[in-house]
């Protein structure tokens, strides 16, 4: 059975952020991920993880002015120092939370030779700092319907850029929800990319709800992922259709399968 991590930016949002850790543990999760921890002292979050025996699977480096529409700094001209500061901050939190993976968002930018070169340089910078702490940096293609203008728009583009970045700890965050929208043929895409994959996320398509609805057959898709050798966390980055716990029947079905 795959190991599932609750995404606390989308799940358990009925509760204040710091209360979501206990809710995730009570629901049976052993790990969590979320977008950003930076509104809270890292020691406070570390205490929550410890109190509820949770692993921190992943979080994102600061992505700029989110409310103002920014979605990452790695391709933004004139923001090199902000980008570097975001990596220092993310690694500081990652060390405190014993988190092995950081997602670096690319930003809203046209794909030009110049933005590609800046992206390669920035992700290499982050990867080299992270390597010293045994941390991976992840890049994630995001579909243009959810994030119009996002620089990284397909798995193929991400793989090409990872080859140019050429760092063993710079890897692909493969979100089946986005991949089904950007390219489809997701099991072949996963098999072709498995050597680059550092983290997985799931949600139904097209609604981005629980993974037992929508057009993807997750029992098959995830069995193929495990057969391909993936042993990491599968982040549940979906918006529950109703109350989070009421929608967790899909998780029980995987547990029953494993018995
Ligand atoms: O929007 C997404 O899919 C993300 O994972 C952002 O980190």
The CA distances from residue 229 to 110, 225, 257, in Å, are: 35, 7, 19
Distant-in-sequence, close-in-space partners of 68: CB < 8 Å, separation ≥ 6 = none
pLDDT at 258: 57
Residue 140 catalytic?
A: yes
pLDDT at 257: 65
Cα–Cα distance, 112 to 121 (Å, whole number): 14
Q: What angle do CA 200, 206, 209 make, to 5 degrees?
A: 65
Question: By residue range, what is the domain housing residue 109?
Answer: 3-258
The CA distances from residue 190 to 152, 196, 223, in Å, are: 17, 10, 12
Measured in Å, residue 142 CA sits from the centre of ligand 1 at 7
Low-confidence ranges of the chain (pLDDT < 50): none
Ligand 1 proximity of 190 Cβ (cutoff 6 Å): no
Q: What is the pLDDT of residues 180-193, one digit of tens each?
A: 999 999 999 999 99
- Overall number of domains in the chain: 1
| Neighbouring C-beta atoms of residue 146, cutoff 10 Å | 11
Spot the catalytic one: 33, 136, 140, 210.
140
Residue 237 catalytic?
A: yes
Measuring from atom 3 of ligand 1, which residue has the nearest CA?
Answer: 142
pLDDT at 149: 98
CATH code of the domain in which 146 resides: 3.20.20.150
The encoded tokens of residue 217 equal 């057959």
Cα–Cα distance, 198 to 211 (Å, whole number): 20
Ligand 1 proximity of 103 Cβ (cutoff 6 Å): yes
| Neighbouring C-beta atoms of residue 196, cutoff 10 Å | 16
Ligand 1 proximity of 33 Cβ (cutoff 6 Å): no
The CA distances from residue 256 to 27, 210, 249, in Å, are: 15, 18, 11
Report CA 193 to chain centroid distance, whole Å: 16
Ligand 1 proximity of 63 Cβ (cutoff 6 Å): no
Closest ligand 1 atom to Cα of 71: 6
pLDDT at 210: 98
Q: What is the pLDDT of residues 158-180, one digit of tens each?
A: 999 999 999 999 999 999 999 99
pTM of the model: 0.97
Q: What is the pLDDT of residues 97-128, one digit of tens each?
A: 999 999 999 999 999 999 999 999 999 999 99
ipTM of model:
0.95
Q: Under DSSP, is residue 36 helix (H, G, I), strand (E, B) or coil?
A: coil
Ligand 1 proximity of 237 Cβ (cutoff 6 Å): yes
């Amino acid at each position: 059975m795959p190991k599932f991590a609750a995404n606390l930016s989308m799940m358990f949002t009925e509760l204040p952020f710091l209360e979501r850790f206990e809710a995730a543990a009570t629901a049976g999760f052993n790990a969590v991920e979320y977008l950003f921890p930076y509104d809270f002292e890292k020691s406070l979050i570390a205490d929550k993880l410890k109190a509820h025996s949770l692993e921190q699977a992943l979080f994102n480096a600061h992505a700029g002015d989110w409310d103002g529409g920014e979605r990452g700094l790695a391709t933004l001209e004139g923001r090199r120092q902000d980008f570097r500061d975001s990596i220092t901050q993310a690694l500081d939190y990652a060390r405190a939370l014993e988190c092995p993976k950081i997602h670096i968002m690319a930003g809203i930018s046209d794909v030009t030779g110049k933005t590609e070169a800046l992206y390669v340089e920035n992700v290499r910078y982050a990867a080299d700092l992270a390597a010293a702490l045994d941390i991976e940096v992840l890049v994630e293609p995001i579909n243009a319907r959810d994030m119009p203008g996002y620089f990284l728009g397909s798995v193929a583009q991400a793989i090409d850029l990872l080859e140019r970045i050429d760092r063993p700890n710079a890897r692909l965050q493969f979100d089946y929800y986005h991949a089904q929208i950007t390219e489809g043929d997701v099991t072949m895409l996963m098999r072709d990319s498995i050597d680059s994959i550092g983290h997985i996320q799931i949600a139904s398509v097209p609604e981005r709800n629980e993974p037992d609805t929508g057009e993807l057959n997750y029992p098959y898709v995830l069995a193929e992922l495990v057969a391909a050798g993936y042993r990491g966390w599968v982040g549940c980055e979906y918006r529950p259709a109703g109350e989070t716990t009421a929608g967790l029947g899909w998780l029980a079905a995987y547990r029953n399968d494993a018995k």
